[in-house]
């Protein structure tokens, strides 16, 4: 699960952007003001997150219709978008049908109307023998965003169109912590692509209370919630809204 993520700087508001997508489609809009390019390697599984918004609706079929590769019959030969249901604590998989270019939820016969909102994480699973570029784009998030963190596992992203240090983000204001035991504290779990392994951070209470990396508890974590990247948030406490402070 290794991929290259290139964060493209937020474009000036009102800029008329025309982006050539990975496949045949072209999107042009005066309201598109930023994007992140994600290179999805052959047969790779890439952890992504959405940090932009849309004036109409961030439907999967609008965001990815002209991107990635589909198949006429078999979901296993189509690229997949995999999201996490935090209430059911289970994955939901979508695949692209090449005959109409639409995305379908696995097991359903009609194109999906499901959305991915700013602040949500998701996987891209490539089932192709070649590399592809994926563009996550939209309007810079300017309105307040609230991300619900349910008890258990949540697959989320930093909800604004920027990157942010974990210990600077407002997550620290709602995190359930513990002075000694990571298993009794909220955790942030991130896939380190360069090392091909997960890294875990937990909220340690004390003076000061702060996020620390597992097995490196003597110093504050320097981990950054990156634009275009999702992460797991393991909530030890009760369900709570994450109302992040806008960083710009």
Mind listing the pLDDT tens digit for each residue in 145-201?
999 999 999 999 999 999 999 999 999 999 999 999 999 999 999 988 778 899 999
State whether 174 and 239 are in the same domain: yes
- pLDDT tens for 37-93 read 999 999 999 999 999 998 666 899 999 989 999 999 999 999 999 999 999 999 999
Q: How far apart are CA 196 and CA 45, in angstroms?
A: 11
Last residue of a domain, one of 124, 140, 156: 140
Long-range contacts, stretch 59-64, CB < 8 angstroms, 24+ apart? 59/112, 59/113, 59/114, 59/115, 60/94, 60/103, 60/112, 60/114, 60/115, 60/116, 61/102, 61/103, 61/111, 61/112, 61/113, 63/116, 63/136, 64/96, 64/103
Question: Tell me, what's the pLDDT at 57?
Answer: 66
pTM value? Answer: 0.86
Is 206 found in the same domain as 231? yes
User: Are 10 and 118 in a shared domain?
Assistant: yes
Let me know: does 6 contact 36? Beta carbons within 8 Å.
yes
Domain count, the chain: 2
Q: CA-CA distance, 158 to 226, in Å (whole number)? A: 7
Parallel/antiparallel/unpaired status of strands 197-204 and 210-213: antiparallel
Q: Which domain holds residue 212?
A: 146-243
Same domain, 52 and 172: no
């Amino acid at each position: 699960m290794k991929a290259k993520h290139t964060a493209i700087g937020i474009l000036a508001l009102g800029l008329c952007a025309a982006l050539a997508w990975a496949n045949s489609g072209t999107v042009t809009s005066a309201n598109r003001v930023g994007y992140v390019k994600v290179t999805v390697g052959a047969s790779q599984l890439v952890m992504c997150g959405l940090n932009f918004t849309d004036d109409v609706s961030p439907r999967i079929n609008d965001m990815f219709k002209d991107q990635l590769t589909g198949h006429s019959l078999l979901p296993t030969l189509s690229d997949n978008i995999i999201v996490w249901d935090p209430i059911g604590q289970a994955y939901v998989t979508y695949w692209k049908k090449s005959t109409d270019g639409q995305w379908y939820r696995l097991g359903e016969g009609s194109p999906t109307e499901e959305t991915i909102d700013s602040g949500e994480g998701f996987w891209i699973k490539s089932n192709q023998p070649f590399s592809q570029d994926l563009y996550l784009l939209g309007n810079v998030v300017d309105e307040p965003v609230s991300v619900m963190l349910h008890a258990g596992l949540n697959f989320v992203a930093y909800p604004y169109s920027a990157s942010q240090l974990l210990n600077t983000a407002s997550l620290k204001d709602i995190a359930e912590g513990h002075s000694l035991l990571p298993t009794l504290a909220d955790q942030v779990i991130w896939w380190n692509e360069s090392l091909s392994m997960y890294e875990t951070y937990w909220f340690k209470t004390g003076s000061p209370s702060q996020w620390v990396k597992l097995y490196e508890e003597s110093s504050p974590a320097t981990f950054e919630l990156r634009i275009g990247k999702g992460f797991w948030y393991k909530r030890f406490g009760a369900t709570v809204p994450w109302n992040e402070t806008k960083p710009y």
